[in-house]
Structure 1
Amino acid sequence: MTTSDTPSAAPAAPAAPPVTASADARAQDRLRALHRAGQLAERYPEVEALLADLPAERLPQAGQLLSRVDADEVLRHHPRTPVVGVAVTGHGTLAPLVPALTAETARHGMLLRPYVADFGGYVFDLSDPSRPLHAAGADLVLCVLDPMAVLDELPTPWQVADVERTLEEKVRLWDGLVGRFRAESPATLVLNTLPLPRRFTAQLVDHRSRAVLGAAWREANARLLRLAEAHPSLVVLDLDPLIADGGPASETRLSLYAKSHLSAGLLAAYAREIGHLARHLAGRTKKALALDLDGTLWGGVLGEDGPEGIEVGDGYRGEAFQEFQRTVRQLGSQGVLLTAVSKNDLEPVRKVLADHPGMVLREEDFVRVTANWRPKPDNIRETAEVLNLGTDSFVFLDDSPYECGLVRRELPEVATVRLDEEPAEHLERLLRDSWFGVREVTAEDRSRPSRYRDESARGDFLRSFDSLDDYLRELGVHVRLARMERADVGRVAQLTLRTNQFNLTTVRLQPAEVEALADDPDALVLTVRSGDRFGDNGLVGALLLRRDGDVCRVENMLLSCRVFARGIEQTCMATVLRRARKAGFRAVEGRYRETAKNGGVREFYPECGFGRADGGGADAGGGAELAFRHDLADVPAPPDHVSLTLALNGGLL
């Protein structure tokens, strides 16, 4: 996957108008006009905002237009556009999946490079490294399974025992294929569960046999889902929740005549889930949810109706707002940073959060509550600054078309979700794009909100000092630099996927790749933990090192944005330099690969005493790639306000 983040040389996308009943029609007309004029490649940065206004059922049509655009032509105009390579294989006909995938990646600001394997060849595609699928070099490999992969092999007539036997054989086959594929490819492999068509269950005339068949089928799907526990680079999508949202799982005529065994609607929903996964692998997962209050968390207007008059808890609408709050709180419990951005006076808001009996969310559930009469884009910017996050980390929810339009215009990088007057629909609008989806929720994720609340306290503490040096001395920063333990693999992989600002190369790694580094005798993965007088920050960074003769190479260094500028990064690099000299290395070398978001660390190596080295140039995404070298003759001392604990346990250093 191309490691750049967002277009920088591209012209700014025009502001989307406030969402109205005709906004989707205007967006569709604009896409058609760009297509007719041959300007879709040139104006590609506009596409993300246009697709945001299209309902899900119209996205495949947009994908038909976008799939005709030459990806290389887009990159010629906008070389920083993130590219995701997706290879598709499976049992049935899958070419119709490409337009849906094209639209879903485009609506998240990415560009699709698809490869579709030959019909029905998934067993050979996954097991044989000489097949074109492996040569495609995809980031994601989709092996789309369908029920006919099992049912086509039944005898005529068949019994439930025949299905059970075939299911057992297939699950064993798929397990083996995953293992062989993982040994040959670093790509993320995606399988899916199998829907059970009624046209087969109905062929059994007794309900007892239907029940036994249903149990066997679900047990096989459960085993499929559990394959991901044994294979870290595997994702298994459960199709049942997608089918439950409506529409048939298959269409008999298309299944029989075209061998397209999953319906167009189900493939479109599947593509949406793949778009979410691709967004995460590209490091574009959101971190913070900025919530309006009036009309969003409760019904009515607090300033006009008073605490007693708002709708939450009582009545059918109040219960709908309460259920929405439960969902928001559930997200917060998994590491999503909840913030409130409201046009209200602060004290009445705090009183409702503290005392209203219908409220599920309380002030302590939020990392920051902002209630004033300033423009909401300004408040989102300020919240991002206080939390040390980029505004592109935010999702904004509001029921006001005006406020949503304003945020879209002023902060197009914020994912803006417009709610309407029906609170029962709030849940679906929040959840349908899985903005905060990750491969695995870690202990670090669950503790993140409390640490960001500490971050807000640090900001207040900083404002009480006349100088940054005085603040840092009183902050009491401590760092633990240690060899990575097995329990940290998921968190380190997550840092490579989600960290954009302090990420020297923006190379994304899956857990299996991090494990491989840990097992390599010529490599060393160091974890960085930090804390201070306000609490423990947890695992906030990593250094990936490799021996190359008498040179120690820094393959990457990552640090969470919430601990920038406290001397942690300088302490870690100074320690690596000192330990490398002690271990007998002649030099330490590293590279910086420029992206749209990591410009703030461009001078990190020079500030640590490194000089420029030969071997720089431009990376595949068009950004600068700079090489640096430190000869270890004059190693800088770490900042004196940081205390350091080492736990390296041998190895490279």
Structure 2
Amino acid sequence: MTGLTDLFELHHDGALAENYPRLPGLLAELTAEELVRAGHLLSRVDADEVLAAQPDQRAVTTVITGPGTLDGLVAPMTAETARHGLLLRPVLAGFDSYVFVLSGDDPEIARHQPDLVLCVLDPSMITRELAVPWEAEDAERVLAEKLDLLEQLVAGFTARSDATLVLNTFPLPHELSAALVDRRSRARLSIAWHEAEVRLLRLAGEHPSVVVIDLDSLVAEGIPLTEPRMSVYAGAYLSEELLVRYAREAGHVARQITGLTKKCLVLDLDQTLWDGILAEDGPDGIAVGGGGRGDAFQAFQRVVKQIGSRGVLLAAVSKNEAEDVRAAFRAHPGMPLSEDDFVRITANWDPKHQNLTELAEALNIGVDSFVFADDSPYECGLVRRGLPGTAVVGLTEEPAWHPRDLLRDNWFTVTELTGEDRTRGVKYKQEVARKTFLSTFSSIEDYLRELDVTVHLGVATAAQAGRVAQMSLRTNQFNLTTHRLQHQDVTRLLADEDSIVFTIASRDRFGDNGIVGAVFYRRDGELAWIDNFLLSCRVFSRGIEQACLAAVLDHAFATGVHEMRAIYRPSLKNAVVREFYPRYGFTTHDHDDERTVFRHDLALPVEIPKHVRFTGEIERPVR
């Protein structure tokens, strides 16, 4: 209750707005019931007051609509977004207004320019349109009509709006099926219902800006679909428990679209990946597989290995002797995981939060990219206090629950998996090798010369839109504006004849880095703009950024541009690139508290570093 108590004290003192960044830590260990209580309190906080006190606070304007009463969703959504470091700005649409919202006929909703639209569907959409008596074929007809309508609404909405639209399946109520007393009719109804849900789920594949939450899987956890009294008397057609669980899933979507997806899973070893204490039991004494608890740990390792295969970096931090850990992974016959699955295994007796900080430096990512999983409440507490940005998963003494506890928060979920995702582990191992290589040189110039950097600047294709959007969402340090783009935003830019999205790819002596950056270029007559410049933290300070900027300026000069302008918007994490444009000859054109506009007259070219081999679709003009 400490987190909830502290929250109420901050509210009592009128200090919630100025302490809003503390909320993820205060809410991290609350139960579902406590989170709802916290949400009721936080929903009364003025969002503008929070933003005035915290100018860099990420806010998510969210429209909530659907066939039924959804007031009960606001409090859990407020808590769930705050738990992930976000500020919810909810816009609650009227009862049964979803058709007007999705069709764009509600000007009040459009005025808010939402980031997220939650269209919470429920079985009442069908049941209210079944005249008594009804047959299975009547339900088939209503289901088909509703899905036809939804498909039309979604197509229009995605063409018109930049918001991410969240829909959901609506499970078949037992009471509806049981009203058909013959089993053949029940089977026919069930088939039609599930086919309608499949059509809903397919919308996510057809529209990049659509997410469909599968309520059937949540109901399968034992959560009631409805509360009959609230359904009849209040038009609240989904139970309070289900709305709370829905809010958790929707909170994950909000975190995803704001670029807060985690990158690296860091695991303890003893009683986390195997049964036993390695220092006491030895490599032969720990259990993975072989029956009993060993099977539970083996099943958990399989889950971890699967996550790693989907682009999540895996690392281990354990209080053990390094040689014992290596022997365990190499020799134990029941291990699904091997040393090669990890970008780094740290085994020593140092504090774990210190090891995590060193791991972040080695991988060149922030500690806020980590999810740390450990069975020790003591270690979890130390990491929570020492590294507030790290997500901590406290595992229980029962290993059979480890997969549930790890997967419950969808920390690593992305809109789509890209080719770079699948090879991310290899690329970060290469990055560790580069740092080791660097340590053998007395000067950075010698190191860069021997690194053999090749850079390719190309025009983005439709197939690369997902990767470009992903970088926009997840890149924080070398991101000149931190303007976040969804897949549909990038697709629109690709179709704009006045814009070019350049992709940056690189490789060196250690391997292919893939697509590591993007430049968003826009032409306006004899004036051109660099609306944003992104580069992965993995490839900072190797001359890649200078080479690509030089090529973009050359392209502008060769195509008749007389002046280039570029935008920098400061954030908490991109101060490292504050002087990027001035370093290469740009001067300040305009400045206010929110942004600086730089200009370059293109009179003098920017040179490509001598150690960089540049290739691309842009040739250097003769000046």
TMscore range, shorter length: over 0.9
1:521 paired residue number: 497
1:635 paired residue number: 605
Shift of 1:388: 1.1
For 1:473, the aligned partner's letter is R
For residues 277 and 145 of structure 1, what CA distance do their matches in structure 2 show?
17
| 3-state SS in 1 of match to 2:315 | strand
Q: Deviations over 1:298-339 (max 9, x none)?
A: 121101111121121123211111111111111100100000
1:4 paired residue number: none
**If the length of structure 2 is used for normalisation, what is the TM-score?**
0.98
For residues 53 and 270 of structure 1, what CA distance do their matches in structure 2 show?
19
For residues 59 and 207 of structure 1, what CA distance do their matches in structure 2 show?
42
For residues 50 and 502 of structure 2, what CA distance do their matches in structure 1 show?
38
For residues 382 and 331 of structure 1, what CA distance do their matches in structure 2 show?
23
**Alignment pair present for 1:218 and 2:190:** no
1:184 paired residue number: 160
- Native 8 Å contact 1:550 1:586 kept in 2: yes
Shift of 1:28: 2.1
Q: How does 1:48-447 map to 2 (within 5 A)?
A: 48-447=24-423
Shift of 1:129: 4.7
RMSD: 1.3
- Native 8 Å contact 1:392 1:414 kept in 2: yes
For residues 416 and 32 of structure 2, what CA distance do their matches in structure 1 show?
27
For residues 211 and 57 of structure 1, what CA distance do their matches in structure 2 show?
37
**Alignment pair present for 1:618 and 2:593:** yes
1:537 paired residue number: 513
Bigger relative contact order (CA 8 A; separation at least 6): 1
For 1:271, the aligned partner's letter is A
1:577 paired residue number: 553
- Native 8 Å contact 1:483 1:649 kept in 2: no
**If the length of structure 1 is used for normalisation, what is the TM-score?**
0.93
1:644 corresponds, among 598, 614, 618, to 614
For residues 141 and 59 of structure 2, what CA distance do their matches in structure 1 show?
42
| 3-state SS in 1 of match to 2:283 | helix
Q: Deviations over 1:407-439 (max 9, x none)?
A: 112111111111121111111111111111111
For residues 554 and 2 of structure 2, what CA distance do their matches in structure 1 show?
61
- Native 8 Å contact 2:118 2:166 kept in 1: yes
For residues 162 and 234 of structure 2, what CA distance do their matches in structure 1 show?
33
Shift of 1:152: 0.7
**Alignment pair present for 1:472 and 2:465:** no
Moved more, 541-550 or 205-214: 205-214
- Native 8 Å contact 2:171 2:216 kept in 1: yes
- Native 8 Å contact 2:266 2:372 kept in 1: yes
The alpha-carbon distance between structure 1 residues 257 and 380, as it changes in their structure 2 partners (threshold 3 A), is same
- Native 8 Å contact 1:477 1:532 kept in 2: yes
- Native 8 Å contact 2:551 2:618 kept in 1: no
Q: Deviations over 1:494-526 (max 9, x none)?
A: 111111111111111111111111111100011
Shift of 1:31: 2.0
**Alignment pair present for 1:549 and 2:519:** no
For residues 636 and 550 of structure 1, what CA distance do their matches in structure 2 show?
19
| 3-state SS in 1 of match to 2:284 | helix
Q: Deviations over 1:202-237 (max 9, x none)?
A: 111122221221111111000111012222211111
Runs of 4+ residues deviating >4 angstroms: none
**Alignment pair present for 1:590 and 2:566:** yes
For residues 143 and 168 of structure 2, what CA distance do their matches in structure 1 show?
14
Q: How does 1:554-569 map to 2 (within 5 A)?
A: 554-569=530-545
- Native 8 Å contact 1:481 1:527 kept in 2: yes
Shift of 1:173: 0.2
Identity %: 56
For residues 389 and 150 of structure 2, what CA distance do their matches in structure 1 show?
40
For residues 273 and 242 of structure 1, what CA distance do their matches in structure 2 show?
10
For residues 494 and 471 of structure 2, what CA distance do their matches in structure 1 show?
16
| 3-state SS in 1 of match to 2:71 | coil
Shift of 1:563: 1.0
- Native 8 Å contact 2:17 2:49 kept in 1: yes
For residues 235 and 105 of structure 2, what CA distance do their matches in structure 1 show?
26
- Native 8 Å contact 1:129 1:184 kept in 2: no
What is the aligned length?
620
| 3-state SS in 2 of match to 1:309 | coil
| 3-state SS in 1 of match to 2:328 | helix
The alpha-carbon distance between structure 1 residues 253 and 595, as it changes in their structure 2 partners (threshold 3 A), is same
For residues 105 and 163 of structure 2, what CA distance do their matches in structure 1 show?
13
Q: Deviations over 1:428-452 (max 9, x none)?
A: 1111111111111111111111111
Unaligned runs of 5+ in 1: 1-24, 620-624
| 3-state SS in 2 of match to 1:315 | coil
1:13 paired residue number: none
| 3-state SS in 2 of match to 1:274 | helix
| 3-state SS in 1 of match to 2:292 | helix
Q: Deviations over 1:544-582 (max 9, x none)?
A: 100122111001111111111111111100111112111
Shift of 1:531: 0.5
For residues 208 and 408 of structure 2, what CA distance do their matches in structure 1 show?
25
Q: Deviations over 1:178-208 (max 9, x none)?
A: 1111222111111111111111111111222
- Native 8 Å contact 2:555 2:618 kept in 1: no
- Native 8 Å contact 2:267 2:374 kept in 1: yes
- Native 8 Å contact 1:124 1:131 kept in 2: no
- Native 8 Å contact 2:555 2:619 kept in 1: no
- Native 8 Å contact 2:165 2:211 kept in 1: yes
- Native 8 Å contact 1:243 1:249 kept in 2: yes
For residues 286 and 330 of structure 2, what CA distance do their matches in structure 1 show?
15
Shift of 1:271: 0.7
For 1:645, the aligned partner's letter is T
| 3-state SS in 2 of match to 1:361 | coil
For residues 382 and 26 of structure 1, what CA distance do their matches in structure 2 show?
30
- Native 8 Å contact 1:295 1:399 kept in 2: yes
For 1:422, the aligned partner's letter is E
| 3-state SS in 1 of match to 2:503 | strand
For residues 441 and 462 of structure 1, what CA distance do their matches in structure 2 show?
32
Shift of 1:267: 0.7
For residues 311 and 233 of structure 1, what CA distance do their matches in structure 2 show?
45
Shift of 1:130: 4.7
| 3-state SS in 2 of match to 1:61 | helix
For residues 630 and 130 of structure 1, what CA distance do their matches in structure 2 show?
44
| 3-state SS in 2 of match to 1:552 | strand
For residues 28 and 547 of structure 1, what CA distance do their matches in structure 2 show?
52
**Alignment pair present for 1:28 and 2:12:** no
| 3-state SS in 1 of match to 2:616 | strand
For residues 465 and 245 of structure 1, what CA distance do their matches in structure 2 show?
56
| 3-state SS in 1 of match to 2:57 | coil
